[in-house]
Amino acid sequence: MPIATASKPMALTNELLNELLDVLAEARTADAALREVDRMRSLVAGESIFSIQQNVTTAHDPAGEIRLRRFYSSEADRHPVGGGKRKTLTPWTECLFLQGRVFVGEGAQTLALHFDDFEQMHAHGLQSVINVPLLRGDVCYATFNVFGTRPQWQPHEVLGIRLLALAAARWVPAAPGLAYRFTDMSFTSPMES
């Protein structure tokens, strides 16, 4: 399946924001709401893929690991909902899960440094990412992820994706039994942001 495209990425205007908020106010299911967020994402980010990864880590998981499960996917045939992965403590996990900060990665070299599945991304032409932590208090319960085919993001695209993440957050529940497993660890290094 080809990556979702828009003719040209555009800024999230007041008109588009109002349209999105009105549609989300009437949405009855998470799937309907997230499909609308996804539609707006394709307008803002152009050629890109989008997913939401739910943090499903529990107290029974090994210390030093975070377990993620795909809650939404714009490419469900290639990256199905329910698919999971484990992440260890890295500068990327520190940025999102310990510091609650947005991660903006630009260029294939940056993706290769931070993602162990980079070869799969590269095969699909992905060269950049915006990961937005969805937070409740200081707990990152999910990540809102947009991977783009261009090597660099424009400031209005980053802002638009962050606003879409805020709009989507109410439709993404925290997993039952969510527990952080990086509690006794400390890792500090510079991050691209």
pLDDT, tens digit (0-9, with 9 covering 90-100), for 75-121: 878 777 888 888 888 888 889 998 999 999 998 888 888 887 777 77
- What are 47-73's pLDDT values in tens digits? 899 999 999 999 888 888 899 999 999
pLDDT at 192 over 70: no
* Contact (CB, 8 A) for 16 and 40: yes
Per DSSP, the residues of the chain read: -PPB--SS-----HHHHHHHHHHHHH--SHHHHHHHHHHHHHHHHSSEEEEEEEE---TTSPTTEEEEEEEEETTTTTS-TT-EEEEES-HHHIIIIIS---EEEESHHHHHHH-TTHHHHHHTT--EEEEEEEEETTEEEEEEEEEESSS---HHHHHHHHHHHHHHHTTSPPPTT---S-TT---------
CA-based max dimension of the chain? 47
Which residues have C-beta within 8 Å of that of residue 60, sequence separation ≥ 6? none
* Contact (CB, 8 A) for 89 and 108: no
Q: How confident is the model at residue 8 (pLDDT cuts 50, 70, 90)?
A: low
pTM score: 0.84
What percentage of the chain has pLDDT greater than the value 90?
39
Nearest to 73 by CA among 122, 117, 37: 37
